[in-house]
Amino acid sequence: MVRQIRFIGILATSALLTAGGLRVADALPPWLLGTPRGFVVYDTLAEATRDLRTRLLVPAFFPSDLAWPPARIVRAPGEGRPSLVAFTDQRTGAERLLVAQCVDGDCEFPPELLAPLENAPVRRILSGGFEADLAVSTSSAWREVRGERLGRRVIVRFEGDETTLLRMARSLHREGS
């Protein structure tokens, strides 16, 4: 019996130490880069669809100065599967449109996925039947609408004018549908 307990103890310790050591090693690059572990990065919307088993919302109205396909598709860990689709400017390559959404309806967006918009007073708007909060940054050209679209909590953040932002937010649909 003592031999059995000793064996299981050594086996469990070896397995735990190995797993622990490898986990610490695995945590180093995300820690160095400041990106939390558990974020899933997809190469394409099709890959995200396959993995999430649902289509992500993207705007049907798409200004010609933005580049298609999305530059970044990320899913954060946590309840509600918070996800982000980012589009860049055709010319500069900088991100100009971010569509954050809760795949399962409601969720909190972690700041590593979508940092809060600073210095942005919020007002309630109703635009073409779409009721949402509009936040306009006073210190940058970014603005965002926060609301619910097709049963999902969404935040559409855009570096540009309000009319285009609202048109994009209203036109959100399941990609491919």
Partner 1 sequence: MVTLHDLAAQLLLHSLTSALVVEALIRRLPIADPSTRVRYRTLVLVLPVLLLPLAWAFPERLSVASWHRMLFFSPAWDDVQIAGVGLRTAGLAVAAVLGLALFARDLGREVHVWRRDHDAVRLGPRAPLDDENIPRAARTMAERAGTPVPLIYLVDTPHPVLSCHGVWRPRIAISRSLAAMLTPPQLETAIAHEVAHIARRDVLTHWLLLGLRAVQWFNPIAHLIARRLGQELEWRADDDAVRMTGSAVPLVKALVASARARGAEFLGLLGRGRIHAVEERCRRLLNPRPDEPLPAGHYAWTSAALVGLLWFVV
The yes or no reply on residue 41 touching partner 1 (CB under 8 A) is yes
Output 5 or 94, the one with its CB closest to partner 1.
Answer: 5
Output 22 or 60, the one with its CB closest to partner 1.
Answer: 22
Binding mask 10-29 for partner 1 (x = CB under 8 A): xxxxxx-xxx-xxx-xx--x
> Does residue 33 come out as left (phi exceeding 0), alpha (psi in the -120 to 50 range) or beta?
alpha
The yes or no reply on residue 50 touching partner 1 (CB under 8 A) is yes
In whole angstroms, what is the distance from residue 168 CA to residue 128 CA? Answer: 12
Q: What angle do CA 6, 12, 14 make, to 5 degrees?
A: 100
Q: How far is the CB of 28 from partner 1 (least distance, A)?
A: 9
The H or E element that residue 131 is part of is: strand 130-136
Dihedral sign for Cα 13, 14, 20, 21, please: positive
The yes or no reply on residue 93 touching partner 1 (CB under 8 A) is no
Output 25 or 126, the one with its CB closest to partner 1.
Answer: 25
The yes or no reply on residue 150 touching partner 1 (CB under 8 A) is no
The yes or no reply on residue 70 touching partner 1 (CB under 8 A) is no
Which residues, in sequence order, are CB contacts of 116 under 8 Å at separation 6+?
Answer: none
CA 4 from chain center: how many Å? 49
Output 3 or 124, the one with its CB closest to partner 1.
Answer: 3
Question: Total number of residues binding partner 1 (CB under 8 A)?
Answer: 36
DSSP secondary structure letters along 64-112:
TTB-SS-SEEEE-SSTT-EEEEEEEBTTT--EEEEEEEETTS-----TT
Q: How far is the CB of 57 from partner 1 (least distance, A)?
A: 19
Output 47 or 65, the one with its CB closest to partner 1.
Answer: 47
The yes or no reply on residue 72 touching partner 1 (CB under 8 A) is no
Which residues, in sequence order, are CB contacts of 94 under 8 Å at separation 6+?
Answer: 88
Q: Which residues contribute to the site for partner 1 (CB under 8 A)?
A: 3-4, 7-8, 10-15, 17-19, 21-23, 25-26, 29-30, 32-33, 35, 37-43, 47-48, 50-52, 75
